[in-house]
């Protein structure tokens, strides 16, 4: 495979980089050394948030802030971004360290979603916001169209809390059971415990928050009418 700075690899999803080094950096995981994509990921996360928020604002003129916020969170969550990254075939283009290559890092949701955000940040720096939006928005058009306007469901932790509060029962406790993996690829296991009725469920995710949401979803599945 040619080096990321080769002219043959200086384009991505129709955008031809004026500064190919930006694309090279966006595709470089920290395990492969510097310059890697973490700073671009930070920038791309913010740019993507604006692009998606703007699209939802225009599409849903009557939706309230809560609905817009939940819809944006759904569209930019790790698993959603990883799905976009797979459709764009980012995995095979990633530059990984030997350990990540051996463990299949190019297939991991956290690495794929981070790389997608880094590429968005790179396009923004290379060509500005308008050009970035033109390239990026089509990646999410189908997902945006599939979300019923103003009717995005609340997350699992919120639904569980509201179910318990509505019945004047104690709130759930979230207990970190395990934290493993290297610093750039942490895995969290969280246990959600409800005392009344006595139920528990575990969730595993790339962040503590994601693991808590999955654990709450397991408990919700055990509650009548939840």
Query: pLDDT, tens digit, for every residue of 121-133?
Result: 999 999 999 999 9
Instruction: For residue 201, tell me if it sits in a domain.
Output: yes
Asked if residue 89 belongs to a known ligand binding site, the reply is: no
CA separation, residue 160 to residues 77, 187, 206 (Å): 20, 23, 21
Task: Choose among 105, 103, 135, 130: nearest CA to 119.
Answer: 135
Q: What is the pLDDT of residue 46?
A: 96
Domain count, the chain: 2
* Domain range enclosing 203: 156-220
Give the domain CATH number at 126. Answer: 1.10.1520.10
Asked if residue 6 belongs to a known ligand binding site, the reply is: no
Give the domain CATH number at 203. Answer: 3.30.160.20
Percent pLDDT > 90 in the chain is 54
**H or E, element range at 173:** strand 173-180
Higher pLDDT, 73 or 124: 124
Asked if residue 41 belongs to a known ligand binding site, the reply is: yes
Residues 126 and 164 in one domain: no
Task: Choose among 154, 176, 156: nearest CA to 217.
Answer: 156
Residue 164 has pLDDT above 70, yes or no: yes
- Binned at pLDDT 50, 70 and 90, residue 77 comes out as confident
Helix (H, G, I), strand (E, B) or coil at 193: strand
Instruction: Provide the annotated active-site residues.
Output: 45, 117
198 Ramachandran zone, left/alpha/beta (phi>0; psi -120 to 50): beta
Instruction: For residue 22, tell me if it sits in a domain.
Output: yes
Residues 173 and 140 in one domain: no
The answer to whether the peptide bond before residue 35 is cis (omega within 30 degrees of 0) is yes
Residues 13 and 96 in one domain: yes
Helical ranges in the chain per DSSP H: 20-26, 38-59, 65-75, 78-87, 98-102, 109-127, 129-146, 156-166, 208-220
Instruction: For residue 151, tell me if it sits in a domain.
Output: no
Instruction: For residue 226, tell me if it sits in a domain.
Output: no
Residue 1 has pLDDT above 70, yes or no: no
Q: What is the pLDDT of residue 107?
A: 86
- Binned at pLDDT 50, 70 and 90, residue 152 comes out as low
Instruction: For residue 184, tell me if it sits in a domain.
Output: yes
């Amino acid at each position: 495979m040619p080096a990321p700075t080769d002219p043959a690899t200086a384009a991505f999803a129709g955008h031809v980089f004026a500064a190919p080094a930006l694309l090279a950096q966006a595709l470089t995981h920290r395990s492969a050394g510097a310059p890697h994509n973490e700073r671009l990921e930070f920038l791309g996360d913010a740019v993507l948030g604006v692009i998606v928020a703007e699209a939802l604002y225009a599409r849903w003129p009557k939706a309230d802030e809560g609905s817009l916020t939940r819809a944006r969170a759904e569209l930019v969550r790790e698993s959603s971004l990883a799905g976009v990254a797979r459709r764009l075939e980012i995995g095979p283009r990633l530059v990984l360290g030997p350990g990540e290559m051996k463990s299949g890092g190019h297939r991991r949701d956290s690495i794929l979603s981070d790389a997608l955000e880094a590429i968005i940040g790179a396009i923004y720096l290379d060509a500005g916001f308008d050009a970035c939006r033109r390239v990026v928005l089509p990646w999410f058009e189908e997902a945006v169209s599939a979300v019923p306007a103003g009717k995005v469901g609340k997350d699992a932790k919120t639904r569980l809390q509201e179910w318990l509060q509505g019945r004047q029962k104690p709130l759930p406790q979230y207990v970190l059971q395990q934290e493993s993996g290297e610093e750039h690829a942490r895995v969290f296991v969280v246990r959600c415990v409800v005392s009344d009725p006595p139920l528990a469920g575990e969730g595993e995710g790339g962040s503590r928050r994601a693991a808590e949401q999955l654990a709450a979803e397991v408990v919700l599945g055990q509650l009548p009418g939840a």
